Amino acid sequence: MPADESIEKAVGRLLVGRLPGKSLDAQFEQLLKDGTAGGICIFKDNVESLQQLSELVERISNASAFNPIICVDQEGGAVQRFDDVISPLPSLMALAATGNEKYAETAAVVNGKQLRALGVNCVLSPVVDVASNPLNPIIGTRAFSSDSETVSRFAKAMLEAFMQEGVVPVIKHYPGHGDTGQDSHSELAVIDRSMQSVQELELKPFRDCARLAPALLAGHVWLTSYEEKPLPATLSSKLLEGVLRKELGFEGLIFTDDMMMKAITNRYGLSESALLAVEAGCDVLLLCSSASELKDAHQHIIDAVRSGRLKEERIRTANERIEKLFPNAKKPSIDHKSRLTQLKGWLEDDNARVSTIYQHAIALLQGKFQNVSEEPLTVVVPNHPRYPLPLARFLQEQLKFNGLKPSIEEIRYTVNPDNTEIEQMASRLKDRNIALVTFRAGLNKGQLELARSLEKSASNLIGIAADIPYDCQAVSKSTTYMCTFDPSDKAMEELAVMLVRRMGASGKCPVELETSPVKG
């Protein structure tokens, strides 16, 4: 048995925490110095500016007893933490909509080199879930496609580019989150299909990427065909050690998804679930909790080693896998000033490269392409709490830039409007030229009814799906409907450029629309 300090540091290296603000507070700084925490996952609420972010990462690295894991969910599209300070990135589904893996490679190069310049050494991307459920509440455009082969091709392109740029990519969410009807942030996600079906669909991209991916993130997903009782993959030795390691041949580092998600904590509590995850075969635990909760989990795992419940060998093996990807001997000395200067010099060119990707991703799902001119246009947009969807503003800017006089009005509607609101909107907008922006209408049924009502009452309707493409099925196939596959401001900006400059839309929808239940 090694000295207590060695046990404590060996366990601490497995734990990655989350900061409560925009600076490295005293509690987490001490956890890093003591080796109680092995890294930090950075979120949007930790970011204020490029300068502040660069200095924060430097402080985290300098404070750590290890070469810390500094990771971020910088996927692109709906999930990106640094889009306000570095280049915004297209969603993975937008990348697949280009039909060209070279654009996925470009996005990963831009992402990887910018993260590396900041001192971030790990990116929780790409998602290799298969987008097989149109009503999935959490994955959507975070997945490349409903075709598993397409998922594998685009994922491999990104993995190679990330590793080329010196950032550790983490594929997720094993064993597949694409067919679930639940959000694991709130409840345990379930896939209730046969073992053969799961192997042919969900597991295929993980199998295809097993030899290439250096790391993988296990999701809080229950596969009923593998586990009789409701046990998520993060806590299942059968899925981690049996299927993933032995059957799929994955030898890399296994991360957990955030252990603070209610799919886990509602049943086990944080400390016990952290221990169960290590027992099952997870190597790195994302404990996006408070410093005190991380410390409690740390002590709980140490107590399990001392009592003999958890074998010391399990901790040693996890440390060896971490050391292979984040070696202490190569802990970087981060000079944030010079790196920041370098990064700022890249931004203009990188932003232009990203714009090109967006332009090739936007797709015409049905109907005829229509441009926007000086004729009056009413842009009808959901008042989404997270995504501003500022298409009207960008249309006005583009019209002015092209020497035209804009006549754009914006009207906001409730994300899931009721019958009264729908009737009022249809009456108010009768005989108008309308661009209707929808966001996941299948999950917000009022949007489906609003689209149908406006199709009848408007003089002309252009439908725009700002996320998943299934929204187009609310209206007849002759009605124009486009899709950005991405709800970000950058996607809205590039759509405005396309509509005003009459560029046409070259993207192709990478998911199967005909089998979608959204029509009803």
Q: Is 45 a catalytic residue?
A: no
Q: Would you say 321 and 252 are in contact if contact means Cβ atoms under 8 Å apart?
A: yes
Could you tell me which of 515, 187, 498, 194 has the C-alpha nearest to residue 372?
498
Q: Would you say 11 and 318 are in contact if contact means Cβ atoms under 8 Å apart?
A: no
SS3 label, residue 407: coil
Q: Would you say 235 and 273 are in contact if contact means Cβ atoms under 8 Å apart?
A: yes
- DSSP for 53-85, please give it: HHHHHHHHHHH-SSS-EEEE---BTTB-SSTTT
Q: Report strand pairing: 39-42 vs 69-72.
A: parallel
Q: Is 83 a catalytic residue?
A: no
List 129, 257, 283, 350, catalytic entry = 257
Distance CA 425, CA 417 (A): 10
E strands, 282-344, in order: 285-286
Amino acid code (one letter) for 114: Q
Q: How far apart are the first and last CA of the chain?
A: 63
List 34, 147, 183, 185, catalytic entry = 185
Q: Tell me the Cα Rg of the chain.
A: 24
Q: Which residue in this structure is represented by tokens 């987490």?
A: 28
Angle, helices 50-63 vs 26-34, to 10°: value is 40
**Backbone φ and ψ of 134, nearest 5°:** -60, -20
Could you tell me which of 406, 345, 337, 340 has the C-alpha nearest to residue 378?
406
Measured from the Cβ of residue 268, the count of other Cβ atoms closer than 10 Å reads: 17
Could you tell me which of 149, 142, 227 has the C-alpha nearest to residue 191?
227
Hey, which residues are catalytic here?
185, 257
